[in-house]
Amino acid sequence: MKRRAILTAALSLALVAFLSLIPKIMSAETPRPAGSTNEVITLGGGCFWCLEAVYQMVDGVKSVTSGYAGGQVDHPTYKQVCGGDTGHAEVVQIAFDPAKVSLDRLLELFWQCHDPTSLNRQGADTGTQYRSVIFFQNDAQRLVAEKSKATAQKEFTRPIVTEIVALPKFYAAEAYHQNYFRNNPTQGYCQAVIAPKVQKIKKKIGLHE
């Protein structure tokens, strides 16, 4: 009996000590990674090198990643996507700060930097992998995209064929595709296709390096 009484007393003291620590535990700040206020939108409008070069100039855009989305094959390669059999589109995934640049502004730029009335084709680039598409992350983005598309249609005589669909999976493209225009400004395609488009957009919409 004496041993049981001692054990009971010890357990009671331990319980009191633990309960006294609860307020301190509850008030302690749990370390967390710094929260991000960025939003993400994924856009396809022909070769991803072109869109990447344009959006990298926009104030408020934090990052632009070239990649693939909308297909049936996991982790597709550039060669597979170029074959047109995976269902993926070449896209850019844009992380942006909505306090500095709105999604509506980014989409305004989107309608200007490619031909959204051309089905599965941008210039000499043909195939479903070059289709015009907006991959939204949530219903709010979908509504903004649909409204933006309706507004943009007034500027075109032909119907806009841009798809507006939920983003399934995004796969980043191979490393050599990232920052392509910046890294290869004298390459033939960059000089003939991307550079004129970048200059046109800078002049028309007032973007700056």
Contact call for residues 133 and 89 (beta carbons, < 8 A):
yes
The CA-atom distances, in angstroms, between 52 and each of 2, 120, 143, 169 are 79, 19, 24, 19
Neighbours of 142 (CB within 10 A): 15
66 phi and psi angles, rounded to 5 deg: -75, 140
- Buried residues in 169-186 as b, exposed as e (16+ CB within 10 A): ebbebeeebbbbbeeeee
Q: What's the rounded Cα separation, in Å, for the pair 25 and 16?
A: 15
Active-site residue identified among 47, 50, 113, 190: 47
Burial class (CB in 10 A: 0-12, 13-18, 19+), 139: exposed
Known catalytic residue at 113: no
Contact call for residues 43 and 121 (beta carbons, < 8 A):
no
Helix (H) or strand (E) run with residue 23 in it: helix 2-27
Catalytic residues: 47
